[in-house]
A and B are shown apart, each in its own frame.
Chain A
Amino acid sequence: DVKVTQSSRYLVKRTGEKVFLECVQDMDHENMFWYRQDPGLGLRLIYFSYDVKMKEKGDIPEGYSVSREKKERFSLILESASTNQTSMYLCASSTQFPYGYTFGSGTRLTVV
């Protein structure tokens, strides 16, 4: 079965810390995405990548960066965590458009 794995289910970090969220997919998908999910706001796209070492800004990239050194791994980086980045973070991957996403289980990040 295809799988997207996010390294942590729950994470608590302090304000100002640098935070790494890791995502790995085993489906050889070209495209990978990071979303954040907040009540009443749905899913908002932070960054996406459609090839190794390629990255594109989504709708809310401020305060985040990404890294894709290998096809199967897409990392989200919070350069200096702030309390307004407390959220559920979802990683997804897809093959050629428009065949739907496969999501990971999510990382619930709390910044205190």
Chain B
Amino acid sequence: AQSVTQLDSQVPVFEEAPVELRCNYSSSVSVYLFWYVQYPNQGLQLLLKYLSGSTLVESINGFEAEFNKSQTSFHLRKPSVHISDTAEYFCAVSSDNSGGYQKVTFGIGTKLQVIP
């Protein structure tokens, strides 16, 4: 079985400050990791993903996440946040099981509130 833990339900941060949203996962097999963002009254959008290769992945709007296998983590970071980054962020994991459907498990989400 796989699971995802997002350690913070809410993260307030001042505009232009750095932020880290934490995500830990558990799985007995190889994993694929995702971060999604949900702006108010909208669906989720894929922000970035780790499938293989370089453990550091980046999004087009300045976020990055690093896959750390030894710590089973996939924390999301941004060096300087903007008001428009205010949203809810979901970490998700999928495992490489042989045969059948590869289920995606979502965390419960972290609300990022950027304060002017």
Within 8 A of B (CB), among A12-38: 35
A45, B102: Cα distance in complex, Å: 13
CB–CB B51/A98 < 8 A: yes
Could you tell me how many residues of chain A have their Cβ less than 8 Å away from some Cβ of chain B? 24
Tell me the minimal C-beta distance from A97 to chain B in angstroms.
Answer: 5
Inside 8 A of A74's CB, which chain B residues have their CB? none
Inside 8 A of A56's CB, which chain B residues have their CB? 101
Among A9, A41, A101, which residue has its beta carbon within 8 angstroms of that of B104?
Answer: A101
A106, B36: Cα distance in complex, Å: 15
Closest to B45 in A: A103
Among A35, A40, A98, which residue has its beta carbon within 8 angstroms of that of B32?
Answer: A98
A106, B88: Cα distance in complex, Å: 15
Inside 8 A of A104's CB, which chain B residues have their CB? 43
Tell me the minimal C-beta distance from A8 to chain B in angstroms.
Answer: 13
A45, B94: Cα distance in complex, Å: 13
Q: Told that A90-B44, A98-B94 touch, could you supply 12 new A-B pairs with CB distance under 8 A?
A: A40-B108, A42-B108, A43-B90, A45-B103, A45-B104, A50-B101, A92-B44, A97-B94, A98-B102, A99-B49, A100-B46, A106-B42
Q: Can you sample 8 A-B contacts with CB below 8 Å?
A: A40-B9, A42-B107, A48-B101, A56-B101, A97-B101, A97-B102, A103-B43, A106-B42
